[in-house]
Each structure stands twice: as C-alpha cells, then as structure tokens.
C-alpha cells in the first residue's frame, strides 16, 4: 500500500515539484496546501501517514502546526523540509515532535527515502542537520550552561530569531504566534537581559553564538 502524504509549503513551484516527485515514487499525495492552518485541516480530513512541513509559512507557522499534528494525530509523522538550517529551528522542530528534518537542498531521492523512513516510525536527519545535532551533543558537557538561563525556551527561541534579523511579524509566523505575543516576549527578553534596545539584545545574543 502506498504512503499517504500531505505536502505543506507556501512556495507553489517547490510544492508542485515535491508533489510530482512523490507521485513518481509511488506515494499518494492526498492534498497539498500552503499554510499551517490548511495543513491541520488536511491532516484531520485525510489521516495521512506523513506530512511534509515547511516551517516558514504565513499565518500559523509550521512549527506550531507540527506541535498540533503530533498532539492531535500521533499516528501521522511530520517530516520538516525547510530552508532553515540553524540550530534553533532544528531543535525547536524536534522538540515539537517532528520525526525528521531536511533542508530544501536535499535531493528528491533523499526526501523520498526520508518519507519512507518516518512512515515506518524511524527518525531521519539530513546530513548537514545530523552533523549539527552531533556537534551540539558533543559540545554540551553536563557542566555547560545554556546561554541566558534566565530566559524560558520560548524567549530563547524569540531572541535567536531576532538575532537573525527577523522582524516581529516573521518571528510570529515562524513560531505560530501573534505579533502582539512576540512584542511582549521581546519586551520580557530585554528586561531579563537588562538591555534597553533590541539592537543591544541582538549584539548580546550574537556574542553568545545565537542567530548565526
């Protein structure tokens, strides 16, 4: 029986390419959508084996959509396929429950193999991503403290994206938050870091290796 797949990506040319590639390899693409909200509707309607999820989509971001798919449809595996290869995005997606993570320069064959693997219940990381995860694991001795321990995980995610140059709207889309919530988080981060401006927070974050 073929693997049933939902493809969620807001770039129509890339999405159409994924759909065609998967169909050529015997997968059944039950629906392709361009937002996190539409992905949730498609999963609820079709109960697919796998969702290919972009992270940076308008409206409800792929990260929050991943969390909801995993919570509401645990049988469905989420395979992230995105442009974002920074540590913050990778670990946020894995914490959200994604079973695999590839960047968009992966070949069609690699993506097809990853779909098959996550459908079997396995975890898959692209070559570049697995190297990052390994480096992070090797570099995190028990005595090492994470940067800015006064920040919650969400606040650290927001700070990392701000340090990458994201405005509040893009941070919100990436994390599935409203702009108001992002503004509140940024204000809290500034207070906790004892800095007066966003630029100071960015400089401090980059000094600690965030936002690269």
Best CA proximity match to 144, nearest among 209, 92, 95, 90: 209
Domain coordinates of the chain in residue numbers? 4-138, 153-207
* Residues 118-122, mean pLDDT to the nearest whole number: 92
Contact of 8 with 62, CB cutoff 8 Å: yes
Contact of 123 with 130, CB cutoff 8 Å: no
Contact of 31 with 6, CB cutoff 8 Å: yes
- Quote the CA–CA distance of 57 and 5 in Å, as a whole number: 18
Fold for the domain defined by 153-207: Arc Repressor Mutant, subunit A (1.10.10)
Judged on CB neighbours under 10 Å (0-12, 13-18, 19+), 117 is middle
- Quote the CA–CA distance of 45 and 12 in Å, as a whole number: 22
4 Cβ contact partners less than 8 Å away, ≥ 6 residues apart: 27, 28, 30, 46, 47, 48, 49, 50
pLDDT for 42 equals 97
pLDDT digits (tens, 9 = 90+) for 63-89: 889 999 999 999 999 999 988 777 778
CATH of 4-138, one of 3.40.50.2300, 3.40.50.2000, 3.40.1190.20, 2.40.30.10: 3.40.50.2300
- Enter the tokens of residue 92: 């946020």
pLDDT digits (tens, 9 = 90+) for 98-111: 999 999 888 999 99
Residue with the bigger pLDDT between 208 and 212: it is 208
Contact of 93 with 101, CB cutoff 8 Å: yes
Place of tokens 């595996």: 77
Best CA proximity match to 66, nearest among 32, 97, 90: 97
* Residues 14-26, mean pLDDT to the nearest whole number: 94
């Amino acid at each position: 029986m073929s693997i049933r797949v939902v493809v969620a990506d807001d770039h129509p040319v890339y999405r159409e390419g994924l759909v065609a590639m998967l169909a050529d390899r015997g997968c059944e693409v039950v629906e392709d959508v361009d937002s996190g909200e539409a992905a949730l509707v498609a999963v609820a309607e079709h109960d697919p084996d796998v969702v290919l999820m972009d992270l940076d989509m308008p409206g409800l971001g792929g990260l929050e959509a991943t969390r909801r798919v995993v919570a509401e449809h645990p049988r469905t595996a989420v395979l992230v396929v995105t442009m974002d290869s920074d540590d913050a995005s990778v670990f946020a997606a894995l914490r959200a429950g994604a079973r695999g993570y590839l960047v968009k320069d992966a070949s069609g064959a690699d993506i097809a193999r990853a779909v098959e693997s996550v459908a079997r219940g396995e975890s898959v990381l692209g070559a570049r991503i697995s190297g990052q995860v390994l480096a992070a694991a090797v570099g995190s001795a028990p005595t090492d403290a994470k940067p800015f321990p006064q920040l919650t995980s969400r606040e650290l995610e927001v700070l990392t994206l701000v340090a990458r140059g994201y405005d509040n709207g893009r941070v919100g889309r990436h994390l599935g938050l409203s702009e108001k919530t992002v503004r509140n988080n940024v204000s809290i981060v500034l207070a906790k870091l004892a800095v007066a401006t966003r630029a100071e927070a960015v400089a401090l974050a980059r000094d600690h290796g965030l936002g690269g």
